[in-house]
Structure 1
């Protein structure tokens, strides 16, 4: 009986996704030959390459991307991707091999995404925050057979085996090009731009997890259904043939997914190698951008510019801001919409489960900080510590997700826990009486202090409301009396001088006494990875001096 129910749910999800894709303009089911062509390309060269190939067919002269070196049309990006694919094959990189890319957001990274698929190679997108040791370990684990990297990361890739084909994906001109290393610009300018032989099947993609608790794991995907786009398009009205400014890293799942779906709709992507709050405002204004893709810490810095700076730029074209990657505090949720209008969409998901839920602007006004509701084909469930389903509103539980974006396991062979087809996210969550979901923190972040359970995110969100607090992190540290006590790390607001007792009283007034941090430490900045996630293991938990 369960299999019949699952089959009916799959049919319902498929038809629901088809309606969303038709409505959004992503697929036209009145033209079945085009749909079949898109599906076949997806299966052989992968979604990134198929998307650009479609754009080159349909609107070759339309802009595909803009970076600090100018604009590439869909036809130009298509030809350059072919040139890279042919170069890799000529260099002896066998189809099915894994190549790596360590690059910031620019044309080189997008060319690598496309060229790898066309050559039948699996691409591992490396984190620009890597140190040399971490990079070398991940590269060895993923069995990298060729490497593309930006010049600034030359020292990091030094540990790769001698003789491995290497390509500079971006050249700043700060150092000579090493002997035996080719420059991607030369490859795409002088190389063979003809369409390479079509692979039998897409070799897949490896997107690394955030690595906030240790060495980043490789989440592999060898199949991406075109219907996966519906997870985004169902709740986010991504425009057609518009412009997106993407400052969230494309090497991570959010930036990658929004780039892919937006490009499939013919949008131009404006990419920036390094985030700068005011330059992002300028990019939106100069390009008349419809959409911004960012992470919460970036929006925090944009809001902190203040109304006098923000109003210098014409942001009237901006209709959508999509954020993901780390928790959105209620305070920041309200501040963003007050500054830029009701245009904020809070996307919740992960590298493993893809898109789980999305909060719309009206939902964020109703319940600031919520992650909203599940889009079409996504299904959410809470389970307790005994793996029993939780159905009551307001009860915290472990969040599990089931949707149409299959996760094939980590490249080291490990898997996430699965219950009744639902995969663990590693997060705690609850639903309110109207069905909106709230993330309560990581299930392994829970602190037991004096026999009471405390989730740091609740305390962090409350402290973030204090006008003298610009950023905050709360962790547990050992305590002889209570077992564990709370320690808060506070980044002061500009010009503010908060007093420790005032901050403690702020928590005591709003939460139970055992949730008041015993320690308050002022710091200049908090350790966050490129997607804005707090790296708690880098915060000092030893005795205070």
Structure 2
């Protein structure tokens, strides 16, 4: 099985059923499949070959689905790019991945034009959403004369399907290799674990360049209807309206989204009776917020944990495990991320790779055919992540006697703010570029709305003068805006180990202790 066949089969069974809805635009499954075929055949006519990487830079849109499935059918490898990145960040990714094609929305034309000048590996650009640059192909014109027949390319399970970019604490991009087999197995597992029904209607809120997009293939397999929303600032009133108007049955949120909806003074006026399941992930859910949400939404709740490398659906806390009243050991499990899904094995191990007993903290390692085999062109990082068939998550966890897993802390220093992963080292490098900065440390500090916010602790050169706002603007000019520090403090010195290493955990713990004091 491959993902392209998944769409074809749904189109054969349900040709007239709405597949994609965004505002006033929509496609049935039959239309969706035919347009994906036309785009696949058009790209192949332009020289696309099986295994070619294709960078994609768009906002959330129906065309993103078309591009994704066209590449699945033609053998192209989808490389979604974060649409908040700046030129330097884009160039690093393109230099690393070396795509031949880039498909982009007209909003990013100036950026793409410069990236193509800087990276000769990019041979052709396709522009959607309006008039394109003179030397770029127009998306709709390209498709206009192409065949609607299935492309006829042999796609096997082991063929590379997508490269999703992730990073370690260094901020260096790493391309997680995801095959058709990985994604098909993940879709089958998710369909069973989530209990997807043929009549489900799914609202998508996350940026499509995020790996959570691939978690939704379970719905395409069952012929569900997707309702799309352009990513951006979360508008609780707009989302509540979409849930009501489209009779949404399943939706995934991060905790800050749920908090914002609960704070909406008009929430009682919306009809949310169709909603049967809320998935939540990407950031820890405060137990008190979860209790409040369960009382208001009155539907099933399911937490899942995972990473780009692991599926990403790896463990789930099922609706029946969301116990508000009962024995303490059951109520405490609201703070866990559940137990492994049906196609995953998990262990908690010490530094020597030995299993630790229940209750003891160690590193969570996982094993599954849904997990990636490694990273694009990074053999050392791949070997470090995969040891004896087990993928090392880099997360500290403990397991209780019943096998429920509790994520305790991150082995690295990654910050999760509003569901987005932020890597401190990348921000620190930018801070050090400012001539007044002598030392810099970036940490995540508790934030009641975002979960964590970015804080910079900075030591200035002797005699230097600088305002926090100036440093924040400096970061904003060189990084995607969501990565910039929200707050900056100036210290006389930073704590160090005897070897001179900055003790980030000491500083972070100080702020967390202040939060609970």
Please indicate the TM-score interval, normalised by the length of the shorter structure.
0.7 to 0.9
- Which residue does 1:24 correspond to in 2? none
The residue correspondences of 1:178-257 to structure 2 (distance < 5 A) are 178-199=133-154, 201=156, 202-209=159-166, 213-224=170-181, 226-257=184-215
- CA offsets 1:192-250 (integer angstroms, 9 cap, x no match): 32322323544421112266651331101234254333432343222213210011223
- Which residue does 2:316 correspond to in 1? 358
Using structure 1 for the length normalisation, give the TM-score: 0.71
Q: Report the aligned-residue RMSD.
A: 3.5
Q: Does 1:423 align with 2:382?
A: no
Unaligned runs of 5+ in 1: 1-38, 447-455, 465-472, 478-483, 495-520, 529-533
Q: Does 1:389 align with 2:355?
A: yes
- Which residue does 2:364 correspond to in 1? 399
Q: C-alpha displacement at 1:489, in angstroms?
A: 4.2
Q: Give the length in aligned residue pairs.
A: 430
**SS of 1:112 mapped into structure 2:** helix
1:333 and 1:369 in contact (8 A); partners too: no
**SS of 2:279 mapped into structure 1:** strand
Q: C-alpha displacement at 1:486, in angstroms?
A: 11
Q: Does 1:276 align with 2:241?
A: no
- Which residue does 2:217 correspond to in 1? 260
| 1:148–1:488 Cα change, 3 Å | closer
- Which residue does 2:513 correspond to in 1? none
- CA offsets 1:96-115 (integer angstroms, 9 cap, x no match): 21111112222111011111
| 1:215–1:128 Cα change, 3 Å | farther
- CA offsets 1:358-411 (integer angstroms, 9 cap, x no match): 112332333323211111121110111232211x22211100001121412111
Q: Does 1:92 align with 2:92?
A: no
2:73 and 2:155 in contact (8 A); partners too: no
**SS of 1:368 mapped into structure 2:** helix
| 1:234–1:53 Cα change, 3 Å | closer
Distance in 1 between residues matched to 2:103 and 2:95, nearest whole Å: 15
Unaligned runs of 5+ in 2: 324-330, 429-439, 451-467, 477-481, 494-517
Which of the numbers 417, 422, 438 marks the counterpart of 2:406? Answer: 438
| 1:227–1:144 Cα change, 3 Å | closer
1:379 and 1:403 in contact (8 A); partners too: yes
Q: Does 1:302 align with 2:261?
A: yes
Which of the numbers 339, 344, 367 marks the counterpart of 1:378? Answer: 344
1:67 and 1:271 in contact (8 A); partners too: yes
1:384 and 1:397 in contact (8 A); partners too: yes
Distance in 2 between residues matched to 1:490 and 1:87, nearest whole Å: 49
Q: C-alpha displacement at 1:431, in angstroms?
A: 1.7
2:169 and 2:412 in contact (8 A); partners too: no
Using structure 2 for the length normalisation, give the TM-score: 0.75
**SS of 1:221 mapped into structure 2:** strand
Distance in 2 between residues matched to 1:493 and 1:227, nearest whole Å: 35
